Structures are given as C-alpha cells and as structure tokens.
Structure 1
Amino acid sequence: MATLVTFHAHPDDECISTGGVMRKAADEGHRVVLVVATRGEVGEVPEGFLDEGEQLWERRVRETHAAAEVLGVKRVEFLGYRDSGMMGEPTNDAPGTFWTASVEEAAGRLATILRKESADVLTVYDDYGGYGHPDHIQVHRVGTRAAELAGVTRVYQATMNRDHMIRGMKQAVEAGELPAEALPDLDDARMGKSEAEITAAVDVTPGLTAKRAAMRAHASQISEDSFFLALPDEQFRLAFGTEWFIREGHGPGITETDIMAGS
C-alpha cells in the first residue's frame, strides 16, 4: 500500500478537486493525508451563521476534519498561513498570508510532512491554480518545490478539464437545463486546462456519494442551494465524476487513469 498526500489552499478545496481520488485511495487501503495551507479566514458566511464568539476559521477547521473523515483521511495538517483572498484584494499582502510566504520556507514545512509520511504521491494544483486564486497558485509553487526537497517524484497537478466543462454546459443549454447566457466566453482560457494538456483522468463515480457528503460538511462555504449541492444526481456525475490531473513528463494525452497505480 502507498501514501497519498493531497495539498490544498483552503478548507473545502480538497473535496471539490480531489475528494474522489482521496476516497478511492482510502477504499483501496492506501493512507491518505490532507495538508491545508490556510484556515480559510477570508471566507464569507451569512449573518448569524456562526455561534456567538466563534471565529470563521474555527468553524472551517472543524468542517475540514468532518469532511476528511468522510473521505477516509488519516491525518489532517494545517501549515499555519492566512487566507490571502481573491487576486487583487488588499488582503493579498497582509502579514502572514500564504501568497506573501517564502516559497522555500513553506515548501520546507510541507516537505517535513512528506518525509515523515514517506509520501508516494502528492497532489497540488496546476500552475494557474485552476482559476487564478493567489493561494492556489502558491500551492502549485510550494507543492512542486516541497516534492523536490522530499524526493517525491509522483506529483499530480489537479485541474479542471475546460473542454469537458464547456461540452457539459452546452449539453445542459440544449436540454433546457441551463440558460444560454450562463455559457462562459469560449475564448477565455483562464479556467482549468485544455483537454490536450491533461495526462490523467480518474473515474471517481463509485465515491461520488462520499464526495458530495464531504462538500456538505463544509456548510459555511457550500450551502444546500449552491451549484455543487443543487445539481441533480446525473448532472453532478457529469460535473464531478472524473477528476483531472497533469503529471509533468507524461502525455501527450491521457496516459493514466489511477494516480495510485504505477510509478
């Protein structure tokens, strides 16, 4: 059996982008470790959502542990940085944010965990962080460097398959399930990666119930009427039933369907 370490920016990111492979790995007997760079301090909740005196980060940490249990995670670690907020916000440059952290210093923290866990596989994000969030971009930089420091060679960059996403949206428009104006600008290349750049596609449909339950555990960020939870089962399967990755030096095209297999 092997050890999977999955590295994320904020609470709830883990279940959205890699919840399926985490549950799959756990079901197959592998050890799954979750590392989160920040505690998601800059998230937003409706007035009255938190208990009196409760800080948002406290709730999000508890939610992370609850989601991790659903996904079969054996260890949860937070690196201790502060949520940087969306790109261009004043919070980006606040003291202690992940975005302003030294890549070498942060990578050292992660590498310590990778070594202690004898990690076989590490997931990070693609070089644009999926959609340009500064903390997601930093996960790519820090995670890639940490793998070098710890000697982890099987590194998978979680991403979104832009072509698959657009195909699904077009089908939903044609079926009358989505208004045409909801379609993104097809020339906009700032969300995920093209299908041609992706090297691994993992079918996670057997674990979709767990993936959705893990999303539901993050109630402070993913409400019942959110896009993620409001989708009908079939649309949820189409949107989240495959998790996509890029592994440097592999391809062109999809050459892997299980990130825990092979070498």
Structure 2
Amino acid sequence: MATLVSFHAHPDDECISCGGVMRKAADEGHRVVLVVATRGENGEVPDGFLDEGEQLWERRVAETEASAAILGAHRVEFLGYVDSGMMGTATNDAPGSFWMAPVDDAAAKLAAILVQEQADVLTCYDDNGQYGHPDHIQVHRVGMLAAKLAGTPRVYQSTINRDDMLRGMAELGEAGEAEGPEIDPSTFGKPESEITAAVDVTPYLQVKRAAMRAHASQISEQSFFLAMPDEAFARAFGTEWFIRVGEGPGITETDLLAGL
C-alpha cells in the first residue's frame, strides 16, 4: 500500500478538487494525508452564521476535519499561513499571508511532512492555481519544490479540463439545467491537450457532495455545487483531472496510485 498526500490552499478545496481520488485511495487501503496551507480566514460567511465569539477560521478548521473524515483521510495538517484572499486585494500583502511566504520556507514545511509520511504521491495544483487565485498558485510553487526536496516520486497537478468544462456548460445549457457562476473560461484550468491523467470518480460523487456539505460556512445548500441536479453534478465533477510532468502527450493515466 502507498501514501497519498493531497495539498490544498484553503478548507473546502480538497473535496472539490481531489475528493474522489482521496476517498478512492482510502477505500483501496492506501494512507491518505490532507495538508492545507491556510485556515481560510478570508472566506465569506453569512451574518449570524458563526456562534458568538467564534472566528471564521475556527469553524473552517472544524469543517475541514469533518470533510477529511468523510473522504477517508488519516491525518490533517495545516501549514499555518493566512488566507491571502483573491488576487489584487489588500490581503495579498498582509503579514503571514501564504502569497507572501518565502517559497523555500513553505516548501521545507511541506517536505518535512512528505518525508515523515514517506509519501509516494503528492497532489498540488497547476501553475495558474487552476483559476488564478494567489494561494492556489503558491500551492503549485510550494508543492513542486517540496516534492523535489523530499524525493516524492509522483507529483500530480490538479487542474480543470478547460475543453471539457466548455462542453459541459454547453450541454447543461441545452438541457436547461442550473446555471453555474459566470466565468471567463480562458482563466480556468488547462487545455485538454496538456492533461495527462483523468480519474473517473463517479462512484464517489455522493461522498464528494457530503464532504462539500461539511463546509457549510462556504458551500450552502443554495450554492452552485449543491443546488444542481445529480446528473449535472456528475457531469461537472465525475472526473478529476491532473498533469504529471513527463507523462503524455495525451491522457495516459487513470489512477494516481496505479502499481503502488
């Protein structure tokens, strides 16, 4: 059996991007470790949602623990950085923000976990952080360096299949399904030609949705993720996409832990 370490920027990223591969690995008997760079301090929350005196980061840490349990993670670690907020906001430059963290320092923290766990596989994000969020971009930089420092043999960059996303949006529009958020597709993910791994996670869709529900401070029942019909959810989230340097061209892998 092998060890998978899945590295993410904020609470809730894990279930959206890699929830299927995490639960799949756990169900197959592998060790799953979730590492989160920040505690999501700059997320938005409805008025009155938090208990009196409760800080958002406290709720989001608890939500992460609940989500991780649903996804089968054996260990959860936070690197201790502060949520940097969206690109171009003042919080990018705040003391302690992940975006401002020296990459070498953050990578050393993650590498220590990789070495301790004798990780066989690491997931991080693509070089644009999937959609340009500063903390996601930093996850790519830190994750790639940490794997090099630790000697982790397999590194998969979680991404969004831009071409498949456009096909799916067209299909859902034609079917009159729930509309997603307005986005500029050119800023999301990577072209299909750059993707080297596609993991079918349809057996774990209910698990992914349950993990999303665990993050109630950020993902409400009225959100795009939870409001869409099951068929639309399966179309949008039934495959998790990755790039592995040195693989391809084209999609050559369908299991991140094959052979381990």
Interval of TM-score (by shorter of Structure 1 and Structure 2): over 0.9
Quick one: which amino acid aligns to residue 94 of structure 2?
Answer: A
Alignment partner, residue 225 of structure 2: 228
Structure 2: how far apart are the matches of 1:198 and 1:118?
Answer: 26
Q: Which residues in structure 2 correspond to 1:87-236 (within 5 Å)?
A: 87-177=87-177, 188-236=185-233
Over 3 Å counting, the alpha-carbon distance change for 1:140 and 1:177 in structure 2 is same
Alignment partner, residue 243 of structure 1: 240
Over 3 Å counting, the alpha-carbon distance change for 1:153 and 1:216 in structure 2 is same
Structure 1: how far apart are the matches of 2:63 and 2:144?
Answer: 27
Q: Which residues in structure 2 correspond to 1:9-24 (within 5 Å)?
A: 9-24=9-24
TM-score, normalization by structure 1: 0.96
Quick one: which amino acid aligns to residue 238 of structure 1?
Answer: R
Deviation, structure 1 residue 184: 5.2
The answer (yes or no) to whether the contact 2:181–2:224 under 8 Å persists in 1 is no
Structure 1 runs (4+) deviating above 4 angstroms are 181-185
The answer (yes or no) to whether the contact 2:177–2:232 under 8 Å persists in 1 is no
Which of residues 211, 233, 256 in structure 1 aligns to 2:253? 256
Structure 1: how far apart are the matches of 2:230 and 2:211?
Answer: 15
Q: Secondary structure at the match of 2:34?
A: strand
Quick one: which amino acid aligns to residue 53 of structure 1?
Answer: G
Over 3 Å counting, the alpha-carbon distance change for 1:60 and 1:256 in structure 2 is same
Gaps of 5+ in 2: none
Q: Which residues in structure 2 correspond to 1:16-55 (within 5 Å)?
A: 16-55=16-55
The answer (yes or no) to whether the contact 1:170–1:183 under 8 Å persists in 2 is no
The answer (yes or no) to whether the contact 1:124–1:155 under 8 Å persists in 2 is yes
Deviation, structure 1 residue 231: 1.0
Deviation, structure 1 residue 84: 0.2
The answer (yes or no) to whether the contact 1:33–1:73 under 8 Å persists in 2 is yes
How many residues are aligned here? Answer: 260
Deviation, structure 1 residue 177: 2.5
Q: Secondary structure at the match of 1:189?
A: helix
Q: Secondary structure at the match of 1:87?
A: coil
Per-residue CA deviations over 1:118-154 (Å, capped at 9, x if unaligned) read 0000000000000000000000000000000000120
Deviation, structure 1 residue 182: 7.1
Structure 1: how far apart are the matches of 2:75 and 2:84?
Answer: 24
The answer (yes or no) to whether the contact 1:19–1:211 under 8 Å persists in 2 is yes
Over 3 Å counting, the alpha-carbon distance change for 1:164 and 1:183 in structure 2 is farther
Per-residue CA deviations over 1:183-226 (Å, capped at 9, x if unaligned) read 755xx521011111100000001111111100000000000010
Gaps of 5+ in 1: none
The answer (yes or no) to whether the contact 2:200–2:239 under 8 Å persists in 1 is yes
